[in-house]
Amino acid sequence: MLRILFTDDEDAIRAGFREYAEFLGHEVTEAQDGMEAVQRCRDQRFDVIVMDVMMPRLDGFTAVKEIRKTIDTPIIVLSARSEEYDKLHGFDLGADDYVTKPFSTKELMARINAVVARSARPGEREAAARSVWSHHGLHVDITARDVKVDGERIELTPKECELLFYLIENRSIALSRHRLLQEVWGYDFFGDERTVDTHIKTLRMKLGPYKDTIVTLRGLGYRFGG
């Protein structure tokens, strides 16, 4: 999960990005202008900042300059102006990337992931490159697709692996059966939500003493609570 500060004076743009980012499990804080963004950066810590340029009270370039006096959080600048001068000016002030409006929300999220990965410390980059999660005797190496229970490797079907990995990557988040179907089985899957329940049941059996890490949310779906 990323903590994202999204700054734009247009309500619709902020709402559209927030909906998409929160659907992916990220946390979004909004700011309506540069002055509010600077204050939020003084009060909170973010993993990445998205900053529009043309805003009232305090423009985005000035806000970036002010923020860079105290923190080195990755910053992506948004602007309807695509001239080379504006881009170079943004980079000179300390921006990490520059996205021209109108923009694709999916592309912006990809750029966010890229600048966060580039800014990570060497140890953090290594951990990100090899995604491993452990809780007591349950050890899950997502990169190697390897799951061990109390030191013993357990055999999971490809779909059980995908389901477990998705639950872990979104741990502590309530996930509806519908969302799990969409994300794990795909939008073109023609089965029903009982498919999810069946796979959860077999997955819990294989996790043995750690089956309770998958929590049932009655009437909704599941949450990985380990």
Residue 190 — very low, low, confident or very high, per pLDDT cuts 50/70/90? low
Tens-digit pLDDT profile for residues 23-45: 988 999 999 999 999 999 998 88
Average pLDDT along the chain: 87
pLDDT at 209 over 90: yes
- 125 pLDDT exceeds 60? no
130-224 shares the fold of 3-124: no
Mean pLDDT on 140-146 = 85
> What residue ranges do the domains of the chain occupy?
3-124, 130-224
Q: What percent of the chain has pLDDT over 70?
A: 92
When pLDDT is cut at 50, 70 and 90, the band that residue 210 belongs to is very high
CATH class label, 130-224 = mainly alpha
pLDDT for res 185 = 82
pLDDT-derived band at 129 (thresholds 50, 70, 90) equals: very low
pLDDT over 90 at 149, yes or no = yes
State both tokens at 9.
Answer: 């004076």
Longest dimension (CA), the chain: 60
For residue range 53-65, list pLDDT tens digits in order. Answer: 999 889 999 999 9
Instruction: Name the CATH code of domain 3-124 (choices 1.20.1260.10, 3.10.20.600, 3.40.50.2300, 3.30.70.920).
Output: 3.40.50.2300
Which pLDDT belongs to residue 188? 54
Taking only the tens place, the pLDDT of each residue in 78-115 is 988 777 777 888 888 888 899 888 888 988 999 898 88
18-27: long-range pairs with CB below 8 Å, 24+: 20/105, 20/106, 20/109, 21/109, 24/109, 25/1, 25/169, 25/170, 25/173, 26/1, 26/2, 27/1, 27/2, 27/3
For the entire predicted model, the pTM comes to 0.54
Distance CA 97, CA 75 (A): 7
Q: Can you give the pLDDT at residue 207?
A: 95
Angle at 184 between CA 119 and CA 191, to 5 degrees: 165
